[in-house]
Copies of this chain bind each other. A is one copy, B any other.
Amino acid sequence: MKFSAQQIADLVNGKVIGNPEEMVSYISKIEDGIPGTLTFLGGEKYQEFLKGNKASIILISEKLIPQDISELPTIISVEDAYSAFNQLLRFYNEMKEKKTGVEEPVFISNNVTLGKDLFIGAFAYIASNVKIGNNTKIYPQAYLGDNVVIGENCLIGPGVKIYNDCIIGNNCVIHGGTVIGADGFGFSQSKEGYEKVPQLGNVIIEDDVEIGANCTIDRATIGSTLIKKGVKLDNLIQIAHNVEVGQHTVIASQAGVAGSSKIGQWSMIGGQVGISGHLKVGDNVILQAQSGITNDVDNNERLFGSPAIKYIKYQKSFVYFKQLPEIIKRIEKLEKDSKTQSES
């Protein structure tokens, strides 16, 4: 896709200073400034990158345009370059994602219910009794098991697997390779070995949820594993059976939540955090990266460490942990002095 300076200016209510026919097909950072791309001046501190910049078009906030523009590329002048740029990004992204239609070959069972303006990529598998809402995109090689329900305006990435009976809300994005609804890890032990506990529940993903690539969200034993409205999950995250993640909670990459734990809303869980099973983690909680959560967590807590304690406490103790060799020397000195004293 190529756009002229004039086309872009029209989109963002801007004014072209330079060649309105200047063409760009991509975007670059102002530090990089690559020919054939559009860049933008995000704030005063980046002004040093203006002069001699090799981008073909620069989007600038009116008040930041320098007096001497002789060595500058074509300019699009707007009120607020940052918000205009974000507007362009969203527009560009939507253009790119405007795929519709059903490619061949796909596997679609007879009794499925398909909305309007869908994209279904080649080698996608849509099992019995699946329902898909309007404007949803099912990328190639995705797998939707029996009775799966997917809402409107969703993007189901390439090779995503959604097992039978799972339910996805509206406006959800699920990236490539993520597996939703595989069996929870439940076994009962006997002398001969472990016997499988059937996992008959499902996974429910509410509206506006984004899930990264290669995550695993297991189905409940009975009932539902629940990812509530607005939750954002990064890549390679494990959500075990019967877990609940509250509204607008964000979880960073490679974190894991063990079975039946409930996490509140608006919490932030760092990368590689582990949360044990059957816990209650509150609202507005911050768990630092790599923490290990082994007890319930109150609202508004900030924790760190494995096992995790209050963030400030962990930081303080860790300062002294690093000094332990010197601290031991102080104790040895005290012991020596004490011996001298008692002998004197």
Contacts and interface: CB of A to CB of B under 8 A. Distances in A.
Interface string A310-344: 00010011101111110110110011011001100
A150 interface: no
Nearest to A215: B214
Given A32-B223, A200-B89, A334-B334, A176 B182 contact: yes
A216 B212 contact: yes
A252 B185 contact: yes
A170 B196 CA distance: 15
A234 interface: yes
B238 A253 contact: yes
Contacts of A337: 338, 342
A331 B334 contact: yes
A256 B238 contact: no
A122 interface: yes
A38 B73 CA distance: 67
A176 B179 contact: yes
A105 interface: yes
A271 interface: yes
Contacts of A119: none
Nearest to A139: B143
A11 interface: no
A152 interface: no
Contact of A28 (B193, B222, B341): B222
**Copy number of this protein in the oligomer?**
3
Nearest to A94: B198
A164 to B, nearest CB: 7
A109 to B, nearest CB: 10
Interface stretch (A44-52, A61-69, A153-161): A153-161
B254 A238 contact: yes
A100 interface: no
A176 B200 contact: no
A210 B182 CA distance: 12
B253 A256 contact: yes
A21 B305 CA distance: 56
Q: Which 4 A-B pairs have the closest CB atoms?
A: A107-B122, A320-B324, A179-B213, A216-B235
12 contacts: A27-B222, A141-B143, A159-B159, A159-B161, A173-B196, A175-B183, A214-B215, A253-B256, A320-B328, A331-B331, A334-B335, A334-B338
Interface of A: 27-29, 32, 86, 89-90, 92-93, 96, 103-105, 107, 121-123, 125, 139-141, 143, 145-146, 157-159, 161, 163-164, 173, 175-177, 179, 182-183, 185, 187, 193-194, 196-198, 200, 208, 210, 212-216, 218, 222-223, 229-230, 232, 234-236, 238, 240, 247-248, 250, 252-254, 256, 258, 271-272, 274, 276, 289-290, 292, 294, 306-307, 309, 313, 316-318, 320-325, 327-328, 330-331, 334-335, 337-338, 341-342
